[in-house]
Amino acid sequence: MLKTLMLAASLALAGTAAMAQTATQPATRPTAPATTPAPAATTTPAAALIDINSATETELRVLPGIGEARAKAIIAGRPYRGKDELVRKNIIPQSVYDGIQARIVARQR
């Protein structure tokens, strides 16, 4: 259920950002100075990244291809110096890593 809610929220944000970028005003009207904030999707892309060194099992399971067993294996293999260690340590297969690499980070503490 959590995955469904997260997916719905992501789609809603993506749709809002796409609509905001495509909206235009007719050229015949004078335009007022822009006072609306930038779409959330373009302001902080790093906020959506999941840190494999600190994420909970539930947070990791949101990633495609990561279930209960892989989430627990990721947690057990901490700390990671780089996100590519998930494959080098045989925590996840390359195909799963290819699908999630843009959504994860391995921050150092």
Lowest mean pLDDT among 17-21, 48-52, 97-101: 17-21
Which phi and psi (to 5°) does residue 51 adopt?
Answer: -85, 115
User: Which sign does the torsion angle of CA 46, 47, 53, 59 carry?
Assistant: negative
pLDDT beyond 90 at 9: no
- pTM: predicted TM-score of the whole model, two decimal places: 0.58
What is the H or E stretch that residue 51 is in? strand 50-51
In terms of CATH, what superfamily is 44-109? Photosystem II 12 kDa extrinsic protein (1.10.150.320)
What is the H or E stretch that residue 104 is in? strand 104-105
Q: Which amino acid is at 57?
A: E
User: In the structure, what pLDDT confidence band is assigned to residue 41 with cuts at 50, 70 and 90?
Assistant: very low
Arithmetic mean of pLDDT, 14-25: 52
The strand pairing partners of 51, in sequence order, are 105
Arithmetic mean of pLDDT, 53-62: 97
Give the start-to-end residue ranges of the domains of the chain. 44-109
> Which is nearest to 14 in space by CA: 59, 52, 50, 45?
45
Arithmetic mean of pLDDT, 39-58: 75
> Which is nearest to 78 in space by CA: 99, 56, 48, 100?
56
